[in-house]
Amino acid sequence: MKVELISCSPKGEKNIEFGGRISHKSTDKMKKGSEKEFIKKLIKWGHLSVIEHSYATFYISGVSRVLTHQLVRHRIASYTQKSQRYVNENNFSYTIPDSIKQNDKYYNKYLKLMDTIRDFYKEMSNNEIPNEDARFILPNATHSEIVMTANLREWRHVLELRGSLKALWEIRKMVIDIYCILKSRFPSVFFDFNLKTKNGKQYIEKTT
Ligand SMILES: Cc1cc2nc3c(=O)[nH]c(=O)nc-3n(C[C@H](O)[C@H](O)[C@H](O)COP(=O)(O)OP(=O)(O)OC[C@H]3O[C@@H](n4cnc5c(N)ncnc54)[C@H](O)[C@@H]3O)c2cc1C
């Protein structure tokens, strides 16, 4: 799994402060560092639409189609995903859950099944079957890549839902990587999110 920040609002927290201060006509109070406490107050008041003035775009690769299917349920974001119609999957890679990796009985069976699927896919796509039809035999575990752009309010929402212990481990791992990047870029916007560990599992806790 690889998570890369492609771009984000330059001066992202200042953008938010500017937006927020327009409502009280107090932009004259903007000075170096004044955004820090201002943004925390906005979040505590629940004045969250102001956070929408800044955004971040991530490029996520080496994740399963299980994960991307869950991710695209978040509607207040924009996505572009690798196409299984235009891109041949002859050499597809895939996710192996730890429970299977650590299971002597099923690990080899899992690998073997993936090889069988790959061979059959290759056979079909090297002959007369187009990618768009051969892909019907690909498993949920098949790796994909996706670009996601969202404003920081939506990123807070995604981190809260998918960083929780209730979320699937794969998407939780991905949003923890995203959280670390966002928290370092926009510390005030994510001041109330913290990384925790319980029973050896990392998760994100929101305190407000
Ligand atoms: C642990 C977990 C288990 C899940 N299990 C299932 C499952 O079994 N089956 C399943 O189908 N899904 C499941 N989901 C997906 C879940 O139902 C949501 O589709 C997904 O989490 C997106 O959340 P959202 O709608 O809040 O967020 P987003 O789409 O990101 O929207 C953000 C917020 O915008 C507002 N919003 C967006 N669209 C609308 C709208 N049309 N009307 C009103 N308000 C809107 C809401 O306040 C929403 O919270 C699961 C999610 C989690 C985290």
Residues involved in catalysis: 162
**Cα separations in angstroms, 85 against 19, 77, 94, 130, 191:** 42, 23, 18, 8, 42
How many other C-beta atoms are found inside a 10 Å radius of the C-beta of residue 134?
A: 21
Question: In the prediction, which pLDDT does 24 show?
Answer: 86
Average of per-residue pLDDT values in the chain = 97
Q: Is 130 left (phi over 0), alpha (psi -120 to 50) or beta?
A: beta
Task: Give the residue, by CA position, lying nearest to ligand 1 atom 14.
Answer: 70
Rounded CA gap, 196 and 204, in Å? Answer: 6
Is residue 116 pLDDT above 90, yes or no? Answer: yes
Atom of ligand 1 nearest to the CA of 168: 1
**Mean local confidence (pLDDT), 18-28:** 93
Cα Rg of the chain (Å, integer)? 21
Atom of ligand 1 nearest to the CA of 162: 53
Question: In the prediction, which pLDDT does 203 show?
Answer: 98
Q: At what angle do helices 12-24 and 35-45 cross, to 10 degrees?
A: 70
Answer yes or no: is the C-beta of 69 below 6 A from any ligand 1 atom.
Answer: no
Is residue 174 pLDDT above 90, yes or no? Answer: yes
**Mean local confidence (pLDDT), 127-142:** 97
Question: In the prediction, which pLDDT does 145 show?
Answer: 98
Answer yes or no: is the C-beta of 165 below 6 A from any ligand 1 atom.
Answer: no
pTM: 0.96
CB of 58 within 8 A of CB of 4? yes
Answer yes or no: is the C-beta of 171 below 6 A from any ligand 1 atom.
Answer: no
Answer yes or no: is the C-beta of 111 below 6 A from any ligand 1 atom.
Answer: no
pLDDT tens readout for residues 60-72: 999 999 999 999 9
pLDDT tens readout for residues 26-57: 999 999 999 999 999 999 999 999 999 999 99
